[in-house]
């Protein structure tokens, strides 16, 4: 039985893999270098509300118009009704105290609507920026230099794959997903330790996995998809 060994793509392991390949000998183990670190951009919606009263009114109206009948996100009618009511109250306010109190209401309304657009963007990463901009929200991009190599090994029991990822430190957990075809993924149970097992797989078939780290600031980007033949 031939064993597959998955290693990080560092200089030492690359030299070892090249040496094994150049020898021309048959080996009982196949060496596979994992994916190199990649740069990931997360796209986040921001309200970008100005400070001046007149500019705020214009910004609120711009967003309300854009999210009403939006192509990408359906905002519930009661939410739009309440938002328009709060906007009228804010735009017609005459005193500083009323302006301040009514602004809190309309600001919270727009933040709630923005969360709907963020959820839609998270579900469709390829069009995330377009979705957010369609609601006239601003886009903030965060670059994550996340190491995406993680190890896959066949377990002792047939049909079991052991997954192991780099540790994330304090106040983090690990998110895992499995796919039989590398396209449709199923969420596995998140773990605090940087390892987990997938059991009950079919021997002789490929299994695909991806991993991401969840910190106190939220989930980071998904790793590249890795696959392994199940023993």
Longest dimension (CA), the chain: 85
Residue whose structure tokens are 């690990």: 174
What superfamily in CATH does domain 147-231 come from? Answer: Immunoglobulins (2.60.40.10)
Mean pLDDT of 113-141: 90
What would the pLDDT profile of 11-39 be if each residue is shown by its tens digit?
555 566 566 656 666 554 554 545 444 44
**Per-residue confidence (pLDDT) for residue 7, from 0 to 100:** 52
Show me where the domains of the chain are located.
1-33, 43-142, 147-231
What would the pLDDT profile of 45-104 be if each residue is shown by its tens digit?
999 999 999 999 999 999 999 999 999 999 999 999 999 999 999 999 999 999 999 999
- Paired residues of 212 in beta bridges: 175
User: 189 phi and psi, to 5 degrees?
Assistant: -70, 125
pLDDT band at 158 (very low <50, low <70, confident <90, very high): very high
pTM: 0.50
The rounded percent of the chain whose pLDDT value lies above 90 is 56
Q: Beginning with the edge strand found earlier in the chain, give each strand of the sheet holding 161-164 in spatial order.
A: 151-154, 161-164, 195-198
Structure tokens at 96: 């500083």
Instruction: Compare 171 and 206 and report the one with higher pLDDT.
Output: 206
Other Cβ atoms less than 10 A from the Cβ of 170: the count is: 7
């Amino acid at each position: 039985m031939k064993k597959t060994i998955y290693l990080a793509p560092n200089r030492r392991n690359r030299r070892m893999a090249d040496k094994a390949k150049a020898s021309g000998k048959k080996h009982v183990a196949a060496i596979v270098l994992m994916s190199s670190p990649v740069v990931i951009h997360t796209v986040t919606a921001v309200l970008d509300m100005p400070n001046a009263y007149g500019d705020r009114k214009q910004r609120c109206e711009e967003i309300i118009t854009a999210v009403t009948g939006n192509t990408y996100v359906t905002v519930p009618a009661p939410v739009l009704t309440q938002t328009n009511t709060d906007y009228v109250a804010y735009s017609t306010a005459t005193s500083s105290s009323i302006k301040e109190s009514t602004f809190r209401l309309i600001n919270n309304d727009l933040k709630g609507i923005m969360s709907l657009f963020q959820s839609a963007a998270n579900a469709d990463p390829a069009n995330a920026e377009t979705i957010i901009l369609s609601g006239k929200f601003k886009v903030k991009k965060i670059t994550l230099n996340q190491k995406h190599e993680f190890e896959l090994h066949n377990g002792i029991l047939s049909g079991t794959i052991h997954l192991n990822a780099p540790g994330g430190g304090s106040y983090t957990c690990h998110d895992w997903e499995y796919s039989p075809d590398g396209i449709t993924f199923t969420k596995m149970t998140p773990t605090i330790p940087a390892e987990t097992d997938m059991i009950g797989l079919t021997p002789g078939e490929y299994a695909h996995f991806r991993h991401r780290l969840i910190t106190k600031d939220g989930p980071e980007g998904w790793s590249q998809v890795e696959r392994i033949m199940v023993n």
